[in-house]
Amino acid sequence: MKYISTRGKTAPVGFKDAVMMGLAEDGGLLLPESIPALTKDELAAMAKMTYPELAYAVLSKFADDIPENDLKELINKSYASFETPEVAPVVKKGEVFIQELFHGPTFAFKDVALQLLGNLFEYILKERNEKLNIIGATSGDTGSAAIYGVRGKDNINIFILHPEGRVSRVQKMQMTSVTDDNVFNIAVNGTFDDCQDIVKEIFADVEFKKQNKLGAVNSINWARVLAQVVYYFYGYFRAVEKGAEKVRFVVPTGNFGNIFAGYFATRMGLKIDKLILATNENNILSRFINSGDYSIKEVVITHSPSMDIQIASNFERFLYYLYNENSSKVVEKMAELKSTGKITFTDKEIEDTQKLFGTFSTSNMLTETVIQYFYNTFKYILDPHTACGVAAALEFHDANYVCLSTAHPAKFPEVAKKAAGVSPVVPAGISKLENLEKKCILMDCDTAKVKKYLADNI
Ligand SMILES: *Cc1c(COP(=O)(O)O)cnc(C)c1O
């Protein structure tokens, strides 16, 4: 399987190269040049597989430059770090299915992708006898999941910048309690945007980047999307076993990464009836699905910070398919977005989108109401991101919705406390961090100093 860019200007590359490349060299996103369609027999067999078996069945269609046994080993290793062998179990609460994606080491769904990506990086670097120094800025979740993905791995260092005093207590503990030699936490006296600007400036120094073998960690790596495709299959089959007639997934969405994986699963032949895109008050994607209004507004701070996003970095992958794989059209539309702050769509394009996608946008108040209702009725605490999705399922009210639960409630305990008057039980995996040694350096908001720190430690 070869990978091409949504913008059509890079030569096709294999899976391993696509993983190492991340962003395509023409600024586009990588996609497989064709989508393998699963046969009825293959789908029937998949319904009975364990999570790692299913992951192999999906990934082997795309990662055909990794030998069978190696790929199996990479998958097994990645999902052995989850606290349940089911990896992504489905529970039923009243009429609503919840697929819990938070059983990984940092208690958020990003582990599903980043545990695999870390192992893939290590495998490919070893084979090529290369080194990689990952540098990234985080507002919380991605940084901790990325650190856990690569801690202790050979030939990789990771440097994560976070804004001092502006990530949650749990997130800070998760990152700084990782004391492996290859992990470097940098708390910056500044905001998340300051951290991101520093990273951008460092990447803009092409010579420095090359010399120090710098790489990024972000939600656009193809392997991340691919890892996420797997749990749609797993969740679909579990929901059917538990009585769902049509399966509709509700997906709390920020960067369009998670829901794109669901879209991709349908393109492989999984009969998902609807994909419901759930947003908070940052509702650009909801407006797009409702009426084709894709115009960027100011970011609003909400109860679900990991979805406080206006520019959905994975949306371009969907556009590529919406425009029937016409990469010139993608280039044109991305330029339109850059110059005017919006993309316009034809009625036909909106209709085509609505065939598969529905949407619902939630306020902070409704998020609290849903958390309270769920706790009072089922004694089950939802994290605020998940609650945005559950709000949609309750609104549509029938028995076929699988709500993806993207974080453990103990990661965002303040909202549950406010809404339902309870504090989520803190899992041992979080409470034990309290007493661990911490490793973090505090730095001024100064790109030159951060650069020196990188160079000294690589
Ligand atoms: C990252 C994140 C999301 C949003 O996922 P996207 O792939 O960006 O759509 C939702 N919930 C939580 C808890 C997250 O960490």
| CATH, residue 324 | 3.40.50.1100
Q: Could you report the per-residue pLDDT of 440-455, keeping only the tens digit for each?
A: 999 999 999 999 999 9
Query: Residue 200's pLDDT is what?
Result: 87
How far is ligand 1, taken at its centre, from the CA of residue 69, in Å?
31
Confidence of residue 193 (pLDDT cuts 50, 70, 90): confident
| CA–centroid distance, residue 258 to ligand 1 (Å) | 7
User: pLDDT tier at 140 (50, 70, 90 boundaries)?
Assistant: confident
pLDDT of 204? 84
**261 CB near ligand 1 (under 6 Å):** no
CA of 254 to the centre of ligand 1 (A): 6
In total, the chain counts a number of residues equal to: 458
253: CA distance to ligand 1 center in Å?
Answer: 6
Cα 308 to ligand 1 centre (Å): 9
User: What would the DSSP string read from start to end of 204-255?
Assistant: H-HHHHHHTTEE---TT-HHHHHHHHHHHHHHHHHHHHTT-SS-EEEEE-SS
Mean pLDDT on 102-119:
96
Q: Which atom of ligand 1 is nearest to the CA of 259?
A: 9
Give residue-wise pLDDT tens across range 8-65. Answer: 999 999 999 999 988 888 989 999 999 999 999 999 999 999 999 999 999 999 999 9
What confidence score (pLDDT) does residue 167 get?
87
Residues 6+ apart with CB under 8 A from 364: 280, 281, 302, 303
Is the CB of residue 307 below 6 angstroms from any atom belonging to ligand 1? yes
By the 8 A CB rule, do 89 and 26 touch? no
Assigned token pair, 216: 């990024």
Tell if the pTM clears 0.85, that is, is over it. Answer: yes
The per-residue pLDDT for range 154-191, each reduced to its tens digit, is 999 999 999 998 888 899 999 999 999 999 999 999 98
* Nearest CA owner, ligand 1 atom 14: 306
Establish whether residue 256 lines the binding site of ligand 1, counting it when its CB lies within 6 angstroms of any ligand atom.
yes
Determine the average pLDDT of the residues in 213-227: 89
Q: What is the pLDDT of residue 398?
A: 78
Report the pLDDT value the prediction gives residue 203, as an integer from 0 to 100: 87
The answer to whether position 417 is within a domain reads: yes
Is the Cβ–Cβ distance between 151 and 232 less than 8 Å? Answer: no
**What pLDDT is stored for residue 128 in this prediction?**
97
Q: Which of the 8 DSSP states describes residue 85?
A: T
DSSP β-bridge partners for residue 23:
29
Ligand 1: nearest atom to the Cα of 251? 9
Half-sphere exposure for 244 (CA within 13 Å, toward CB): 29
Q: Report the pLDDT value the prediction gives residue 117, as an integer from 0 to 100.
A: 96
Residue 225 CB less than 6 A away from ligand 1: no
| Residue among 258, 313, 317 whose CB has most ligand 1 atoms within 8 A, to mutate | 258
9 domain residue, yes or no:
no
Mean residue pLDDT across the chain:
95
Ligand 1 contact, 255 CB (< 6 A): yes
Q: pLDDT category, 397, cuts 50, 70, 90? A: confident
C-alpha of residue 128 to centroid of ligand 1, in Å: 32
Structural domain contains residue 184: no
Classify residue 25: in a domain, yes or no. no
Tokens of 218: 């972000």
Question: In sequence order, what are the residues at sequence separation of 6 or more whose Cβ sits closer than 8 angstroms to the Cβ of residue 14?
Answer: 1, 2, 3, 65
* Whether 83 contacts 429, CB under 8 Å: yes
pLDDT band at 362 (very low <50, low <70, confident <90, very high): very high
311 DSSP assignment? S
> Is the CB of 254 inside a 6 Å radius of any atom of ligand 1?
yes
pLDDT at 219 over 80: no
Tell me the residue range of the domain where 270 lies: 90-105+223-427
d(CA 279, CA 389): 8
The pLDDT of 342-349, averaged and rounded, is 96
User: So what's the pLDDT on residue 312?
Assistant: 87
Whose structure tokens read 């294999």? 14
> In testing the pocket of ligand 1, which one of 249, 283, 307, 311 has its CB within 8 Å of the most ligand atoms?
307
What is the CA(455)–ligand 1 centre distance, in A? 32
- The answer to whether the beta carbons of residues 233 and 46 sit under 8 Å apart is yes
For residues 108 and 384, what is the distance between their CA atoms, to the nearest angstrom?
12
Is the pLDDT reported for residue 396 higher than 90?
no
| Domain-embedded: residue 81 | no
**Mind listing the pLDDT tens digit for each residue in 234-289?**
999 999 999 999 999 999 998 899 999 999 999 999 999 999 999 999 999 999 99
For residue 258 and ligand 1, the question of a CB distance below 6 A is answered with yes
Atom of ligand 1 nearest to the CA of 102: 13
93 noted as active-site residue: no
Q: Which of 48, 92, 93, 110 is catalytic?
A: 110
**pLDDT tens readout for residues 304-344:** 988 988 888 899 999 999 999 999 999 999 999 999 999 99
Asked if residue 333 is part of any domain, the answer here is yes
Please report the pLDDT score of residue 303 as a whole number.
Answer: 93
* Domain presence at residue 304: yes
Cβ of 144 closer than 6 Å to ligand 1, yes or no, is no
Regarding beta strands 3-5 and 30-32, do their DSSP bridges make them parallel or antiparallel, or are they unpaired? antiparallel
The DSSP code sequence of 326-386 is -HHHHHHHHHHHHHHSEE---HHHHHHHHHHEEEEE--HHHHHHHHHHHHHHHS-PPPHHH
pLDDT at 206 (0 to 100): 86
Alpha helices (H) along 97-221: 110-128, 141-150, 169-176, 192-204, 206-211
pLDDT-based confidence at residue 217 (cuts at 50, 70, 90) = confident
Q: Name, in order, each residue with C-beta under 8 angstroms of 329's C-beta and a sequence gap of 6 or more.
A: 323
Residue 268 lies in a domain: yes
The total number of structural domains in the chain stands at 1
Give 434's pLDDT tier (boundaries 50, 70, 90): very high
* Ligand 1 probe mutation, 100, 385, 386, 405, most atoms within 8 A of CB: 385
Does the Cβ of 407 fall within 6 Å of ligand 1? yes
Pocket test for ligand 1, best of 174, 299, 306, 408 (most atoms within 8 A of CB): 306
**Separation of alpha carbons 274 and 4, rounded Å:** 28
Please tell me the predicted confidence (pLDDT) of residue 311: 82
